Amino acid sequence: MDDSGNQRTRRRDYGGAGLHRADLAADPLMQFSAWLEAAIADRIADPTAMALATVGAGRTPSVRIVLLKHFDAQGLCWYTDYRSAKGAELAENPFASVLFHWREQDRQVRISGSVRRLSAAESDAYFKSRPPDSRYASAASVQSAPIADRQALERAVRALRKAHAPDAVPRPAEWGGYRLRPVEYEFWQGRPSRLHDRFRYRTSNAGGWDVVRLQP
């Protein structure tokens, strides 16, 4: 604590290499892909973990960590229970922002845009690719809903195991994927003395991307 009694938090200086306009790909998806591949190559823990921020009808933002499962020119995809808190908020307000933080590289990427559900066929294909235990858990749980105790959840999983073989667990109709279609990207590279590098891509009226440097 300092002399006023306030709790002080620790900070560190950043030492990342510089990021210049000439370094950036014309397409932000290519730039994101390159940074994600670098995070994976550097064996950063959970490189596909992203903070997902949503806002529902009450206009109160909420955020949680989810895992990016795949992405392409159409957007970034993840899977969850549509009845979850984030599912309810996206039903009310189909826009979101995600943040990737690769601490070891002093890098962040923020991506914002509209969100839509994936097709049933896409959700079925991903659900079938999951480990059996994950399929049982997803089918047994109504995410975000109250439950009496852990034993009740474990009983629901045991009942599903008795009813369905591991390769025959049905995907719940209320479980599936979402795709965020980006309209804005921001790439942040930490630098010493708070003089960080930040570049923002936004969709342009011409159909491409406008890129500007932002002050740190």
Residue 194: active-site member: yes
In angstroms, rounded to a whole number, what is the distance separating the alpha carbons of residues 110 and 100?
A: 7
Query: How many helices (DSSP H) and strands (DSSP E) are in the chain?
Result: 5, 9
Spot the catalytic one: 194, 198, 200, 202. 194
pLDDT at 206: 84
Write out the DSSP string of 63-128. EEEEE--EEETTEEEEEEETTSHHHHHHHH--EEEEEEEEGGGTEEEEEEEEEEEPPHHHHHHHHH
When pLDDT is averaged across residues 7-16 and rounded to a whole number, the result is 68
Inform me whether the pLDDT recorded for 4 exceeds 70: no
- The tokens describing 84, both together, are 């979850």
Confidence of residue 8 (pLDDT cuts 50, 70, 90): low
pLDDT at 60: 93
User: How many CA atoms does the CB half-sphere of 139 hold within 13 Å?
Assistant: 26
- Reported pTM: 0.90
Please say whether the beta carbons of 69 and 126 come within 8 A. Answer: yes
Inform me whether the pLDDT recorded for 91 exceeds 70: yes
